[in-house]
Amino acid sequence: MKNKRIVIIGGSAAGPKAAARARRLDESAEITIFQKAPDLSMASCGYPYYVGGFFDDRNKLLCTPTGVVRDPKYYLNAKGIDAKVNTEVTRIDRKNMLVEFKDLTTGETGIQPYDKLIIATGSTPKMPPIPGIDLEGITPLQSMQNADYLRKIRDDKSIKKAVVIGGGLIGIETTEALNLAGIELTLIELLPQLLTFLDWKMAKLVENYLKTKANVITKNGVAEFIGENGKLKAVKLANGTEIPCELAVVAIGVTPRVDLAREAGLDIGELGGLAVNDYMQTSDKDIYAVGDCIEVTNKITGKKVLAPYGDLANLEGRVAGENVILNDVATFKGTIQTGICKIFDYGVGITGLSEAIAEKEGLDYIKVVNASPDKPGFMNGKLLITKLVAEKQTGRILGAQVIGPGDVSKQIAIWATAIMGKLTVDDLANNDLPYAPPFSLAIDHSIATAHIMQNKMRGLFDGISALEVKEKLDKNERLYLLDTRGPDEYEQTRLGAGETLIPIGQLRTRIQELPDDKSTPIVTYCKISLRGYEASRVLKAHGYTNVKVMEGGIMGWPFEKEK
Amino acid sequence: MKNKRIVIIGGSAAGPKAAARARRLDESAEITIFQKAPDLSMASCGYPYYVGGFFDDRNKLLCTPTGVVRDPKYYLNAKGIDAKVNTEVTRIDRKNMLVEFKDLTTGETGIQPYDKLIIATGSTPKMPPIPGIDLEGITPLQSMQNADYLRKIRDDKSIKKAVVIGGGLIGIETTEALNLAGIELTLIELLPQLLTFLDWKMAKLVENYLKTKANVITKNGVAEFIGENGKLKAVKLANGTEIPCELAVVAIGVTPRVDLAREAGLDIGELGGLAVNDYMQTSDKDIYAVGDCIEVTNKITGKKVLAPYGDLANLEGRVAGENVILNDVATFKGTIQTGICKIFDYGVGITGLSEAIAEKEGLDYIKVVNASPDKPGFMNGKLLITKLVAEKQTGRILGAQVIGPGDVSKQIAIWATAIMGKLTVDDLANNDLPYAPPFSLAIDHSIATAHIMQNKMRGLFDGISALEVKEKLDKNERLYLLDTRGPDEYEQTRLGAGETLIPIGQLRTRIQELPDDKSTPIVTYCKISLRGYEASRVLKAHGYTNVKVMEGGIMGWPFEKEK
Ligand SMILES: Cc1cc2nc3c(=O)[nH]c(=O)nc-3n(C[C@H](O)[C@H](O)[C@H](O)COP(=O)(O)OP(=O)(O)OC[C@H]3O[C@@H](n4cnc5c(N)ncnc54)[C@H](O)[C@@H]3O)c2cc1C
Ligand SMILES: Cc1cc2nc3c(=O)[nH]c(=O)nc-3n(C[C@H](O)[C@H](O)[C@H](O)COP(=O)(O)OP(=O)(O)OC[C@H]3O[C@@H](n4cnc5c(N)ncnc54)[C@H](O)[C@@H]3O)c2cc1C
Ligand SMILES: CC(C)(COP(=O)(O)OP(=O)(O)OC[C@H]1O[C@@H](n2cnc3c(N)ncnc32)[C@H](O)[C@@H]1OP(=O)(O)O)[C@@H](O)C(=O)NCCC(=O)NCCS
Ligand SMILES: CC(C)(COP(=O)(O)OP(=O)(O)OC[C@H]1O[C@@H](n2cnc3c(N)ncnc32)[C@H](O)[C@@H]1OP(=O)(O)O)[C@@H](O)C(=O)NCCC(=O)NCCS
Ligand SMILES: [Ca+2]
Ligand SMILES: [Ca+2]
């Protein structure tokens, strides 16, 4: 049998992973990677940390765990893979089963036949089609070259003011990176909130935190880039404001790079990504596609989504690499769109559906917010705020958002695994997690979240969101706000929205101070609304019929406070 | 209807949790906690950290997250619960549905009728019945008073040498605590390994690390405590060795405290714990039991086990607290015996079954070891070593052990949730976890572990444990050891067991240097055995029929090395 010829277009994450897996399954296959960029195996997700100065050695973005740079020589010797850099595939010829390519340094062209082809062309950054976009000083952060450019700015200390356009994951990571480079920064987001995959309140809490580090402008887009001698001097917002800056990083999202595939007549999905089945196979049985350039199935809704994530690129690559050798044995069934990012001392993560998406999908859901620490106070526990969304009838977990200085990553990992297992709130309520004080509370934050949700589902806990409370206050609706904290806590910080302070320890003896009308709408809360919940139980037992707990308490309040 | 009388025996973890939950479900119930100890709601799991000086304020072990000490006044005011400290229940009178109690300060006795009784009497530390056990300077670390005693020793700097007897979780935590108190320490374990819930090799790796911090003696018990003027001077081991010391902390396990229950004729299980059903109900329908004093079901084996863990105490307490009010609606279905502990800069955790237990249970299992970092090198990734055990036919996850300086807690939480969801290796292999460089590798350590297991289950990866390799070497069996690292790595550290060094990048061109006999038993490895695995694929493709990868590589090698 003649050796199988495997050709891979794209040499960053998904492509090389597919190549490496294929090699391990077939030592005799002829495996070729075409890579347009000069580097291979770039850890693009690490760019913000290189720019931010978490490390100085550029090679660390390109090397194996033992420090060997993954260049063509490495690929040849260690993997037996022919990786051609600076080489662009210019056409896929399906009929003759070959690709045409061009060496970008020499200009030479050539052809390479394939038995199986894997497309891993990734994505291109969206650039807004507005005046001045071509000025010097405007860049995305997508390629190694972009990272080099920004890192040089850091090292040269050549710039004082910058803007980042786009409040998504990469925009926010870039904000941190440039801030750490000592640059005064303004983050600009067109929409009413940052991190649009989060629900509004969660995003607002992140925004409040981020504002302690950088300027943040929302609900306002960039209308024009203003230059001088071809160099960026300022950005002009839709509302006319001008922000002086010498650098603008554009991070408004990415688009699947499917031009080659489209020209070759492969099926493209509605969202603009390559259409593949669970084997990562395109509409041509000998052509596979993986990574940022494809559409994948959301495992909860069953719908196609774009999920341009580095972890998925690797998992998809591994599946395709296997299938081109062993003929469609491995599957990648989809994503639950799990993501996380670090923002200074905060973690921000999501898995599964937000409330907004659950709503849009017409699902019958229930949600709850839990603000509480990740560890005991004596071990310096830090705050976590979780918003959990579950199916109303069954309690099946649909999604979780977690933010805060606490251990967000572990919480999201738990919820992601729970969603994969189709677990319910009741399952999570008795989850046997690893407990010791250096790692968690005796009742882990995720378990406490499940407990609160159980209470809510069974009517023991009537929750109200901070947003609803704020709306009622703004509308001057009748509302008796009961703060159940101690006087010292009240002195330190408080809503100042007309609330009454009765510490939980005095509630039973001071209950007569509450309105006589037992149908008065009452909202209880405390720092995190644990005592608020207890107060609600006491009031209900005393005949109050309209008592709600403000979920997340003061820690979950995203609006201005008196103090 | 008259108010329900709920009586609870035990006021540390399970008891108060049951009381608090019951209160929230029934504001009018009369709830009484009897607590023999002078304190309530002690975070016993925090004792080692108090002794070790992680914090200095003793009250932090007893207070709410906002700093209020949970004393009888707090219980009365904030919870409406009558908590009697220094008060021992001396008898349960089931016929008359009352308990007899004694105030330990005044000596007065009394009776308290109940409608529902909850037993949460916890456990007592085992003390070895050997000569000298009553000498001053010998203590367990079980009560607040024990913690006070050891903390005073820390503060007074009154002691230079100590021994800890027992290499379980608490023994090891105590070793760290006393070491941090500046005391020269020897840990003594009768059995051949520390942490007996781990498999031997994993425990050995922990032991190797611990030895860099303290003296560790295994396979040797204490035969006698030697004193002078009533004070401990030394311990004498079974082999005759005398170890001078002024303090001995005994941590050889705990026994369920069931004397009251036994006298009252309640069913006791085979392991000595109170027998309860999933409602936490004893053989008397009006009596419930929770916490360290009960036996619970292992959800994987279906067998009863003792699981004296603080998290389970709380979960069980919550279930019982609910059931005494709402009549058997909530269930606690059991444990998978998840546990974790911190040992200086290491985490050590387990969930589900170890290989030893799977073996004992006669399960058809497969296991694998993965040593690899938790995060990218450029984010200072730290090593994790995982041993995964799965059902051979189905791939269902049975258990995972994780050790190392990396993020053990998240790994164990993932596996625990996976076990609860009855997930398989294939499920975990495509788990959509939260990925960003500050939190994990693009392929999370748990996913990589699942990948290696997939490879092993499908015959792509023939593993051999370090233990088996060592045995073969000791028996002088024919074995060609192939180290596939770079020469610089080899210079730094190596087995020195007759291995041949061929870096992976040279293997394909130097293959003729390998033995001509293709049936030669070959074992490949590298630092973590990733390159070892790749080498095995190359060798197999070249016709070698007897190639195995040493799982975990050098990082997983628990024995002496040349360098
Ligand atoms: C700054 C930044 C931060 C990120 N952070 C995270 C994160 O924290 N977590 C996360 O999950 N994901 C993150 N991502 C996303 C992640 O990096 C991508 O999902 C991943 O790189 C996609 O891999 P890919 O191989 O599909 O595509 P790419 O990495 O885009 O690689 C595609 C490659 O194909 C080559 N190519 C394209 N067309 C051709 C052609 N015609 N011929 C030859 N070669 C071609 C290109 O040169 C390119 O290198 C981040 C991305 C960026 C830019
Ligand atoms: C040093 C140490 C570290 C630990 N670390 C961890 C850890 O990291 N993770 C983990 O999960 N678990 C850990 N544990 C175990 C955890 O603390 C226990 O599982 C938990 O405390 C059990 O709670 P309990 O309420 O059942 O029993 P206990 O905490 O033992 O409380 C029982 C109480 O009942 C009272 N009592 C007994 N008999 C009577 C009577 N007749 N009348 C009145 N009162 C009575 C006693 O005074 C006692 O306070 C640790 C324990 C110790 C000692
Ligand atoms: C690294 C890369 C070249 C893929 O190469 P690879 O050889 O598959 O490397 P990986 O580390 O992913 O996997 C190593 C293999 O060894 C196995 N392995 C990992 N640790 C192991 C261990 N301790 N023992 C044995 N085997 C191990 C894995 O299962 C995998 O094998 P498999 O896929 O056949 O199951 C490709 O992913 C890449 O270029 N990545 C860099 C860029 C990137 O990921 N960017 C996006 C995020 S920033
Ligand atoms: C603390 C203790 C008294 C139990 O009292 P508790 O009032 O149930 O306190 P918890 O913090 O456990 O639970 C608070 C309640 O508020 C809920 N809650 C927690 N956070 C909340 C939030 N942010 N918003 C709303 N409700 C919240 C919980 O679900 C729980 O209610 P539920 O049990 O009715 O569902 C008892 O566990 C104890 O004594 N613990 C200390 C000792 C110990 O645990 N030792 C072993 C480990 S070291
Ligand atoms: Ca992900
Ligand atoms: Ca546990």
pLDDT tens digit string along B220-231? 999 999 999 999
Residue A506 CA, ligand 1 centroid: distance in Å = 58
Phi, psi of B349 (to 5 degrees): -140, 160
Q: Give the mean pLDDT of B288-296.
A: 98
Residue A7 pLDDT exceeds 70:
yes
Where do runs of H (alpha helix) occur along A157-222?
A: 169-180, 200-210
- Residue A506 CB contacts under 8 Å (≥ 6 apart), including other chains: B77
Q: Are B346 and B309 in contact (CB under 8 A)?
A: no
Closest CA to A256 of A290, A283, A292: A292
pLDDT, tens digit, 9 for 90 and up, residues A127-149 = 999 999 999 999 999 999 999 99
- For residues A44 and A313, give the distance between their C-alpha atoms in angstroms, rounded to a whole number: 12
Q: Which residues of A touch B299 (CB under 8 A)?
A: 432
- Residue A83 CB contacts under 8 Å (≥ 6 apart), including other chains: A11, A16, A19, A32, A33, A35, A40, A72, A75, A76
Where do runs of H (alpha helix) occur along B62-162?
A: 72-79, 144-156
Closest CA to B326 of B294, B290, B288: B288
Indicate the average pLDDT of chain A: 97
Tokens representing B45? Answer: 């799991």
CB atoms within 10 A of CB B302: 9
The SS3 of residue B256 is strand
Mutation target for B interface from A12, A61, A435: give the one with most B CBs within 10 A. A435
Q: Which residues of A touch B308 (CB under 8 A)?
A: none
Q: Is B197 in the pocket of ligand 2 (CB under 6 A)?
A: no
Mutation target for B interface from A345, A417, A539: give the one with most B CBs within 10 A. A417
Q: Say if the Cβ atoms of A351 and B443 lie within 8 Å.
A: no
| Distance (Å) from the alpha carbon of A91 to chain B's nearest alpha carbon | 30
Indicate the average pLDDT of chain B: 97
Q: Say if the Cβ atoms of A54 and B412 lie within 8 Å.
A: no
Q: Give the mean pLDDT of A27-41.
A: 98
Q: Which residues of A touch B417 (CB under 8 A)?
A: 414, 417-418, 421, 423, 431, 433
Q: Give the mean pLDDT of A482-509.
A: 97
- Residue B111 CB contacts under 8 Å (≥ 6 apart), including other chains: B93, B98, B99, B100, B101
Beta bridge partners of A339: A350
Rounded to 10 deg, the angle between the A530-541 and B72-79 helix axes is 60
Given this model, what pLDDT does residue B559 score? 96
pLDDT, tens digit, 9 for 90 and up, residues B174-221 = 999 999 999 999 999 999 999 999 999 999 999 999 999 999 999 999
**Measured CA angle at B488 (ends B483, B493), to 5 deg:** 60
Q: Give the mean pLDDT of A429-450.
A: 98
Residue A200 CA, ligand 5 centroid: distance in Å = 21
Rounded to 10 deg, the angle between the A445-457 and A408-420 helix axes is 50
Question: Please, is A90 exposed, middle or buried when counting C-beta atoms within 10 Å of its C-beta (0-12, 13-18, 19+)?
Answer: middle
pLDDT, tens digit, 9 for 90 and up, residues B11-24 = 999 999 999 999 99
Residue carrying structure tokens 């095995």: B536
Tokens representing B41? Answer: 């709601």
Q: Give the mean pLDDT of A497-501.
A: 96
Closest CA to A15 of A65, A81, A63, A104: A81
User: Residue B2 — very low, low, confident or very high, per pLDDT cuts 50/70/90?
Assistant: confident
Closest CA to B394 of B423, B368, B352: B423
- For residues B198 and B179, give the distance between their C-alpha atoms in angstroms, rounded to a whole number: 23
Given this model, what pLDDT does residue A2 score? 86
Give the pocket of ligand 1 (CB within 6 Å). A 9-15, 34-37, 44-45, 47-48, 88-89, 120-123, 141-142, 170, 257, 260, 291-292, 308-311, 313; B 435-436
Q: Are A404 and A383 in contact (CB under 8 A)?
A: yes
Pick the range with the lowest mean pLDDT from A1-5, B348-352, B404-408.
Answer: A1-5
What's the predicted TM-score (pTM) here? 0.98
Q: Which residues of A touch B533 (CB under 8 A)?
A: 24
Q: Give the mean pLDDT of A86-102.
A: 98
3-state secondary structure B48-73: HHHHCCCCCCHHHHCECCCCCECCHH
Given this model, what pLDDT does residue A263 score? 98
Percent of chain A with pLDDT over 70: 100
pLDDT, tens digit, 9 for 90 and up, residues B350-367 = 999 999 999 999 999 999
CB atoms within 10 A of CB B228: 9
DSSP A250: E
Domains of chain A: 5-123+255-326 (3.50.50.60), 138-252 (3.50.50.60), 347-457 (3.30.390.30), 463-556 (3.40.250.10)
Mutation target for A interface from B314, B402, B433, B447: give the one with most A CBs within 10 A. B433
Quote the ipTM score.
Answer: 0.98
pLDDT, tens digit, 9 for 90 and up, residues A330-368 = 999 999 999 999 999 999 999 999 999 999 999 999 999
User: Residue A1 — very low, low, confident or very high, per pLDDT cuts 50/70/90?
Assistant: low
Hey, whose CA ends up nearest to atom 21 of ligand 3?
Answer: B530
User: Residue B1 — very low, low, confident or very high, per pLDDT cuts 50/70/90?
Assistant: low
pLDDT, tens digit, 9 for 90 and up, residues B512-546 = 999 999 999 999 999 999 999 999 999 999 999 99
Question: Nearest Cβ partner of A310 from B333, B335, B442?
Answer: B442
Q: Are B356 and B203 in contact (CB under 8 A)?
A: no
Q: How far is CA A182 from the centre of its chain?
A: 25
Residue carrying structure tokens 């000998």: A286
Q: Is A45 in the pocket of ligand 3 (CB under 6 A)?
A: yes
- For residues B476 and A146, give the distance between their C-alpha atoms in angstroms, rounded to a whole number: 57
Closest CA to B391 of B421, B409, B426, B365: B365
| Distance (Å) from the alpha carbon of B21 to chain A's nearest alpha carbon | 10
Closest CA to B352 of B312, B315, B301: B301
Residue B64: C-alpha distances to residues A139, A373, B8, B31, B76 (Å): 50, 12, 20, 20, 15
Q: Give the mean pLDDT of B364-376.
A: 97
The SS3 of residue A291 is helix
Residue A440 CA, ligand 4 centroid: distance in Å = 14
Q: Are A403 and A355 in contact (CB under 8 A)?
A: no
Q: Are B289 and B325 in contact (CB under 8 A)?
A: no
Half-sphere exposure at residue A349, Cβ-oriented, CA atoms within 13 angstroms: 32
Strand ranges (E), A211-253: 215-217, 222-228, 231-237, 242-244, 247-250
Residue A497 pLDDT exceeds 70:
yes
- For residues A46 and A350, give the distance between their C-alpha atoms in angstroms, rounded to a whole number: 20
Closest CA to A224 of A235, A211, A213: A235
- For residues B450 and B533, give the distance between their C-alpha atoms in angstroms, rounded to a whole number: 15
Question: Nearest Cβ partner of A338 from B342, B412, B434?
Answer: B434
- For residues B124 and B250, give the distance between their C-alpha atoms in angstroms, rounded to a whole number: 12
Q: Is B533 in the pocket of ligand 3 (CB under 6 A)?
A: yes
- For residues A421 and A407, give the distance between their C-alpha atoms in angstroms, rounded to a whole number: 22
DSSP A79: I
